[in-house]
Chains A and B, each alone.
Chain A
Amino acid sequence: MDVNDLLIFNKGNELAQQNFVPKLDIEPEKIEEILPKNLIRGELRIPDISEVEIVRHYVKLSKINYGVDSGIYPLGSCTMKYNPKINEIVARMTSFSHLHPLQDENEGALEILYEISKLLGEITGMDGFTLQPSAGAHGELVGLLIIKKYFETRGIVKNKIIVPDSAHGTNPASAKMAGFSIIELKSNEHGEVPLDHLEYAMKQGDVAGIMLTNPNTLGVFDRQIKNITKIVHDHGGLCYYDGANLNPMLGICRPKDMGFDIVHLNLHKTFSTPHGGGGPGSGPVGVSNELIPFLPIPCIVSTNKGIVCNYENHESIGRIKAFWGNFGIVLRAFVYILSLGGNGLKRVGQIAVLNANYIKTLLKKKYHLPYDRICQHEFVLSDKYLPNDITTEDVAKRILDYGFYAPTIYFPLVVNGALMIEPTETESKYSLDKFVDVMNQIYDEAKNEPYKLKNAPSNTPVGRLDAVNAARKPILHD
């Protein structure tokens, strides 16, 4: 069956409807009077399609797509927790959705931005926040530009950033966008940052800072964290916290106390805003007092005249996005924090870690667990001892046949054949047990019926796709 027949563009006809256009209530002129002929376009190749066909088409597509409302989504470092529906209702209230970013009479919105900055400050310990970044990676760029500006204003030249080999790919990419080059540190056998290597790297004198995720992508809390940040500070560097793995730390521990100067958060991970199939997200950045002057403009500040926007930060790194950031997403996170409260947030941290350790305990009976210790919100298995040449990819594809989504595969790079699992706190024991059952069944199949994994997935709309040809001869639109 040729998928092209099923593209929406093939469902159009000449039935030109204008159901979504208001009636023109003024006398129109000839368009050529308003727009010169040479600026008018020729054909517009978007077909007219009937409303019923559109609805059926996208309902059908939604049914061959898997969301966290469909079942467990154990992707490591993604924190696919339940997306509360109350957030969606609030985001659609016209008093928020219809608000123009450039109008005044917006005190409600500014108050929300201010309040959530305070709440995120309490959660992380950081002193000042910007809510402008649109995503975690965007927040990383902001944080690194702040580091860059910090040294620039002091007339110090430091152009390297240290990143452990377990870091998310965005870390080195963001550092490069801010003009830094990378020093990669190899994690030790415990999955932690080796202090002696760190000391050596810092002694070279040109390191501006370190980017760390803690707990890291192995799900391991680096017990030496305070020593790490101290070594970096002692050598005049700054410490950046990648907040992608903040979920287990909510109400338990704070990045500021660990010694970090800059933190980014992923509202679409820790704070329940929907992933939306890849976005939109929001990546607020929190900083220590010393770095507040460098935050992007505008800053939301509280004055005796109320909450206002400050454009006067002369040491600011500048603007990093038009308007105020992804307000619709920040709003959802605000509702989430209000819904949970301090007590609820702490429960999130506790149960996220409980759930991860629970399935780890059950799965390590059959699967190889390279770092066999208490994990935080996630842990990593590998395909090391799987029989019959079964790989991580085979396992992942077979999980799809059972109607679940597969965990993250082949990341972090420090583990060969990595299978990175993060259940999150919103999975029930029933759901966790079902997932473990499926993983155990798949292991048995690997032993006794390996062809089932090699041929997987066979229960999905398509089987394994030819990624090589897709990249050699890309077809990116119809």
Chain B
Amino acid sequence: MDFISHDEKTIVEMLRIINIPEIDDLFQDIPEDLLIDSLDISNGMSEPDVMDKMKEYGTKNKIYPHSFLGAGCYYHYIPSLVDFVISRSEFYTSYTPYQAEASQGYLQAIYEYQSVISRLTEMEVANASMYDGSTSLAEAAIMASIITGKNQVILVEGVHPEYIDVVKTYCWGQNIELKITSEDKLNDLLTDDIAAVMFQSPNFFGDITDVLALSKEVKEKYPKCLLIQCMTDPTCLGLLKPPGKTDVDIFVAEGQSFGISPSFGGPGLGIFTAKKKFLRKIPGRLVGKTKELNGDREGFLLTLQAREQHIRREKASSNICTNQALCSLSALIYLVSLGKTGLREIANQNFQKSHYVKKAIALIPGYKILNKKPTYNEFIVKCPNIIGLIRECKRVNILPPLQVSTYYPEMLDIALVCVTELNSKDSIDKFIEAAKLANNNEEESAN
């Protein structure tokens, strides 16, 4: 199936009009020795045959009914309205809305997305999306460097390890010096040459920082230093104090929790926001509201395009073109479907359930909660036998928490547990049971 509509007669007719004897002559500009006869790929398949094949691949992935795994990708309930809206083909088969008059539907939706993100985060400007949380953080570092004219940034430990790696790569590309430090050594590293301090809260290990206090601490001595916060599960903003109220200069987040299924890690959604004074240095697309040239009606269009690559070319601060538009539409529908009441309640349930699990685990001998700060839906726990825990979880059909040693080999026997509103009491009880059983098989502990 090639989705081509022409039959042979039509092709002959078209060749006649072009005045070309046969199809091969259309490629007369290509040197003979570059032409290939055919590709070494089997013939195309019909729909039912393709479905069969894909189902086969699917059976090799195990999908668990319950999960305690987070670490940057989260299971939250996706309202039915999300898929309904993004399946409207006028949305998903459309292109970037450069011809504004024929794209008012999508442009208004993106404007609403920018607005709802502004309302949620209380940040003054939100763009139309970036690729994901990790690249948003990297581009935030570059943006800070351009704004301040300085090429050193500090990153506080606790940022998701994969995000740290991405930031490292981008900084290397731009010759920006990246200094990674623990929170207590931050003050020692701060100087006038630092463009920005980057941190994550809630962080990879679950800790929630008092951002307002951090802000004051940094900016009292270095008022020109920018504060960049990232977040991997922004559903916490249903209850948590938003970055716009804590003097954060650039706030980025992974928006996958807002109505986007995990899908093996992508596509995600890079939420990118900043203070209004940095507007002209923000990467990515922006939709603005305006009036007709010869009329009174208001409409929407892509604006401030002179920041972007198609105009600035090598003078652009970012090369981003295609973004995550359809995912931003998912996030918009998620947020308006839940509304303030639903968002508050989701955040509340995440706090409540993970707190419940924290308390229950702490009661099991051998287990120790390691977080000293408040946490949202993730926390780290020292286990007597992490291999056993993983095995026991799988035995009762639970997707086990992350072994932190995957990223930090020195952090042995530590699990990063994630509990969301989708974890029923039943699944929680099963998990606690699994933890107890694992404890009884201590001789299996990490080798």
Contact A3 B299 (CB under 8 A): yes
Mask: chain A, 21-56; 1 = CB below 8 Å from B; 0 = not: 110111011010111101111101111110100110
Beyond the given A34-B374, A101-B262, A168-B310, could you list 14 further A-B residue pairs with CB under 8 A, ordered by the A residue number? Answer: A19-B79, A48-B341, A55-B81, A55-B84, A134-B322, A317-B169, A322-B134, A323-B266, A328-B266, A338-B50, A351-B6, A429-B14, A460-B101, A462-B104
Q: Does A270 contact B (CB under 8 A)?
A: no
**Chain A residues near B402 (CB, 8 Å)?**
102
Contact A135 B6 (CB under 8 A): no
Q: Flag the segment in A202-210, A352-360, A383-391, A439-447 that touches B.
A: A352-360
Residues of chain A from 95 to 152 with CB closer than 8 A to chain B in the complex:
95-103, 105-109, 111-112, 119, 122-123, 134-138, 140-141, 144-145, 148
Q: List 19 A-B contacts (CB under 8 A).
A: A3-B108, A22-B424, A39-B374, A41-B240, A67-B89, A68-B93, A88-B87, A93-B55, A101-B72, A134-B322, A323-B162, A328-B267, A329-B266, A351-B11, A405-B99, A457-B102, A465-B292, A475-B288, A475-B289
Contact A426 B31 (CB under 8 A): no
Q: Flag the segment in B112-120, B184-192, B380-388 that touches A.
A: B112-120
**With A and B bound together, what is the CA distance between A29 and B356 in angstroms?**
9
**With A and B bound together, what is the CA distance between A287 and B25 in angstroms?**
30
Residues of chain B from 370 to 417 with CB closer than 8 A to chain A in the complex:
374, 399, 402, 406
Contact B351 A34 (CB under 8 A): yes
In angstroms, how far is the closest chain B Cβ from the Cβ of A173? 4
Candidates A22, A82, A339; contact of B77 at CB < 8 Å: A22
Mask: chain A, 173-206; 1 = CB below 8 Å from B; 0 = not: 1111111011000000000000000000000000
Q: Does A343 contact B (CB under 8 A)?
A: yes
Contact B69 A103 (CB under 8 A): yes
Q: Does A438 contact B (CB under 8 A)?
A: no
Contact A21 B345 (CB under 8 A): yes
Name the residue on A nearest B80 (C-beta).
Answer: A20
Q: Does A347 contact B (CB under 8 A)?
A: yes
Contact B241 A25 (CB under 8 A): no
Contact B85 A223 (CB under 8 A): no
**Chain A residues near B4 (CB, 8 Å)?**
347-348, 351, 425-426
List 5 A-B pairs, minimum CB-CB distance, nearest first.
Answer: A323-B265, A101-B265, A65-B105, A341-B44, A95-B58
Name the residue on A nearest B426 (C-beta).
Answer: A25
| A277-B96, A465-B101, A465-B293 known; A99+B262 contact, CB < 8 A | yes
**Chain B residues near A91 (CB, 8 Å)?**
263
Q: Does A434 contact B (CB under 8 A)?
A: no
Q: Does A301 contact B (CB under 8 A)?
A: no
Contact B319 A137 (CB under 8 A): yes
**Chain B residues near A254 (CB, 8 Å)?**
34, 36
**With A and B bound together, what is the CA distance between A426 and B355 in angstroms?**
55
Q: Does A290 contact B (CB under 8 A)?
A: no
| A25-B424, A169-B313 known; A400+B339 contact, CB < 8 A | no
Residues of chain B from 75 to 133 with CB closer than 8 A to chain A in the complex:
75, 77, 79, 81, 83-85, 87-97, 99-106, 108-112, 114-116, 118-120, 125-126, 128-129, 131-133
**With A and B bound together, what is the CA distance between A464 and B99 in angstroms?**
10
**With A and B bound together, what is the CA distance between A137 and B62 in angstroms?**
33
Contact A99 B61 (CB under 8 A): yes
Candidates B75, B94, B134, B428; contact of A321 at CB < 8 Å: B134
**Chain B residues near A173 (CB, 8 Å)?**
309, 312-314, 316, 318-319
**With A and B bound together, what is the CA distance between A35 and B301 in angstroms?**
41
Name the residue on A nearest B288 (C-beta).
Answer: A470
Mask: chain B, 1-31; 1 = CB below 8 Å from A; 0 = not: 1111110001101110111100100111111
**With A and B bound together, what is the CA distance between A406 and B98 in angstroms?**
10
In angstroms, how far is the closest chain B Cβ from the Cβ of A143? 12
Q: Does B157 contact A (CB under 8 A)?
A: no
Q: Does A318 contact B (CB under 8 A)?
A: yes
Mask: chain B, 264-298; 1 = CB below 8 Å from A; 0 = not: 11111000000000010000011111111111011
In angstroms, how far is the closest chain A Cβ from the Cβ of B39? 4
**Chain B residues near A312 (CB, 8 Å)?**
none
**Chain B residues near A221 (CB, 8 Å)?**
27, 29-30
Name the residue on A nearest B72 (C-beta).
Answer: A322
Contact B115 A477 (CB under 8 A): yes
Candidates B5, B81, B163, B343; contact of A428 at CB < 8 Å: B5
**Chain A residues near B173 (CB, 8 Å)?**
141, 144-145, 148, 177-179
Contact A471 B304 (CB under 8 A): yes
**With A and B bound together, what is the CA distance between A18 and B339 in angstroms?**
9
Name the residue on A nearest B244 (C-beta).
Answer: A41
In angstroms, how far is the closest chain A Cβ from the Cβ of B373? 10
In angstroms, how far is the closest chain A Cβ from the Cβ of B13? 8
**With A and B bound together, what is the CA distance between A41 and B169 in angstroms?**
35
Of B96, B101, B335, B402, most buried by chain A (CB within 10 Å of CB) is B101
Q: Does B223 contact A (CB under 8 A)?
A: no
Name the residue on A nearest B137 (C-beta).
Answer: A322
Contact A275 B61 (CB under 8 A): no
**Chain B residues near A38 (CB, 8 Å)?**
210, 212, 241
Mask: chain A, 67-101; 1 = CB below 8 Å from B; 0 = not: 11110010100101111101011111111111111
Name the residue on A nearest B48 (C-beta).
Answer: A86
**Chain A residues near B38 (CB, 8 Å)?**
251, 342-343, 346
Contact B239 A109 (CB under 8 A): no
Q: Does B444 contact A (CB under 8 A)?
A: no
Candidates A65, A111, A168; contact of B103 at CB < 8 Å: A65
**Chain A residues near B218 (CB, 8 Å)?**
none
In angstroms, how far is the closest chain A Cβ from the Cβ of B71? 6
Candidates A8, A25, A48, A272; contact of B340 at CB < 8 Å: A48
Q: Does A411 contact B (CB under 8 A)?
A: yes
Q: Does B234 contact A (CB under 8 A)?
A: no
**Chain A residues near B43 (CB, 8 Å)?**
341-344
Candidates A1, A112, A258, A467; contact of B290 at CB < 8 Å: A467
Q: Does B442 contact A (CB under 8 A)?
A: no
**Chain A residues near B445 (CB, 8 Å)?**
none
Of A173, A328, A347, most buried by chain B (CB within 10 Å of CB) is A173
Contact B240 A476 (CB under 8 A): no
Q: Does B168 contact A (CB under 8 A)?
A: yes
Residues of chain B from 286 to 338 with CB closer than 8 A to chain A in the complex:
286-295, 297-301, 303-306, 308-316, 318-327, 329, 333, 335-338
Candidates B40, B134, B261; contact of A342 at CB < 8 Å: B40
Candidates B318, B325, B374; contact of A278 at CB < 8 Å: B325
